[in-house]
Amino acid sequence: MSVAMMSEEQREAEFQRRIDSGEVIEPKDWMPERYRKQLIRMMSQHAHSEIVGMLPEGNWITRAPSLARKAILLAKVQDEAGHGLYIYSATETLGIDRAEMINQLHTGKAKYSSIFNYPTLSWADMGAIGWLVDGAAIVNQTALAKCSYGPYSRAMLRICKEENFHNKQGYQLLAYLMRGTKEQQEMAQDAMNRFWWPALMMFGPSDTNSPNSDELMRWKVKLYSNDHLRQRFIDRTVPQAEAIGLRIPDPDLKWNEQTRHYEFGKINWDEFYAVVAGNGPCNHERMSARRKADEEGRWVREAAREYARKKSMVTAA
């Protein structure tokens, strides 16, 4: 029977059957309205995170300590812009346009990752962001690259490749500082101390407090729970820290030989919810920088639209 002939329940059952058998959903396929809404929520939040995430690192481009470091940082920040654009485009396939998504960000209706509401106080923070923040993003996005929605999963494949470069340059930056003077080592450790816990919070609330997870996992948008991915990140990152002499700022961290996982201390969820609610150290600064950039770029968008309009008139004539 074609989808058009089916009742609503039959369509939903058929959709779930496709998901369960590992089929990929494409933009023109029938999908439950709630699947579309959930994807728009999550993907637009992801795109916003990439764009807002340019700000803390952009802050250090003019102060990079060498030409090579400046070139690397510039390339990384440009990559983040590209990631935002891929994901905005992938989200547009669900029937929302980019201007509306940006408006949702600027009016506080849409969220972006909590991590970008923390300040970048030293050069070592560029290492901590690349290694920890991009590292956490890779763990999350490698799973999303196998998610049920085609445009999102394909965007993730390319993004993950670039994030691997980001991750390695961050780790190399910190490893370099850890081989340097006492002051450089302290600067690296201080960045680690400030970014470790916020990086763990990037994976979202614990499974028992994650209202969207059940639905997203049933639809294979999320393949693993928040806690599962957080644990995977910790297990792979602790040995990397040890290898360059950085200490994890968690007195309760210990290896469990039985489970073959690290046990870790309590995450400060009050801090997480305060940041998500708009009360982190840099929420206001980030949003006003975004609004200012949007306002100052208006003439460029208008000029590009006018150029496209005139060009299409010439082509049509």
Q: What is the SS3 string spanning the chain?
A: CCHHHCCHHHHHHHHHHHHHCCCCECCCCCCCHHHHHHHHHHHHHHHHHHHHCHHHHHCCHHHCCCHHHHHHHHHHHHHHHHHHHHHHHHHHCCCCCHHHHHHHHHCCCCCCCHHHHCCCCCCHHHHHHHHHHHHHHHHHHHHHCCCCEHHHHHHHHHHHHHHHHHHHHHHHHHHHHHCCCHHHHHHHHHHHHHHHHHHHHCCCCCHHHCCCHHHHHHCCCCCCCHHHHHHHHHHHHHHHHHHHCCCCCCCCCEEECCCCEEECCCCCHHHHHHHHHHHCCCHHHHHHHHHHHHHHCHHHHHHHHHHHHHHHHHHHC
Q: Out of 216, 241, 246, 287, which residue is the one contacting ligand BYC (CB under 6 A)? A: 216
Asked if 143 contacts 224 with a C-beta cutoff of 8 angstroms, the reply is yes
Interaction between residue 42 and ligand BYC (CB under 6 A): yes
Q: Cβ 89 to ligand BYC, closest distance in Å?
A: 16
**Hey, what amino acid is at 210?**
S
Of 64, 75, 53, 27, which Cα lies nearest the Cα of 134?
53
Q: Which stretch binds ligand BYC (CB under 6 A): 25-33, 39-47, 120-128, 285-293?
A: 39-47
Pick between residue 244 and residue 276 the one whose CB is nearest to ligand BYC.
276
Q: Which stretch binds ligand BYC (CB under 6 A): 64-72, 172-180, 198-206, 242-250?
A: 198-206
Tokens of 168: 């390695």
Q: Cβ 175 to ligand BYC, closest distance in Å?
A: 19
Q: Cβ 184 to ligand BYC, closest distance in Å?
A: 23
Interaction between residue 205 and ligand BYC (CB under 6 A): yes
Interaction between residue 92 and ligand BYC (CB under 6 A): no
Task: Find the residue with minimal CB distance to ligand BYC.
Answer: 53
Q: Out of 72, 191, 276, 287, which residue is the one contacting ligand BYC (CB under 6 A)? A: 276
Q: Which stretch binds ligand BYC (CB under 6 A): 14-22, 120-128, 174-182, 201-209?
A: 201-209
Q: Which stretch binds ligand BYC (CB under 6 A): 11-19, 90-98, 126-134, 177-185?
A: 126-134
Residues numbered 54 to 73 that lie near ligand BYC (CB under 6 A) are: none
Q: Cβ 275 to ligand BYC, closest distance in Å?
A: 7
CA distance 298 to 153: 31
Q: Which stretch binds ligand BYC (CB under 6 A): 17-25, 59-67, 133-141, 298-306?
A: 133-141
Site string for ligand BYC, 231-270 (x = CB under 6 A): ----------------------------------------
Pick between residue 45 and residue 231 the one whose CB is nearest to ligand BYC.
45
Q: Using CB under 6 A as the criterion, which residues of the chain lie in contact with ligand BYC when the complex forms? A: 41-42, 45-46, 49-50, 53, 80, 111, 113-114, 129, 133-134, 137, 140, 201-205, 210-213, 216, 226, 276
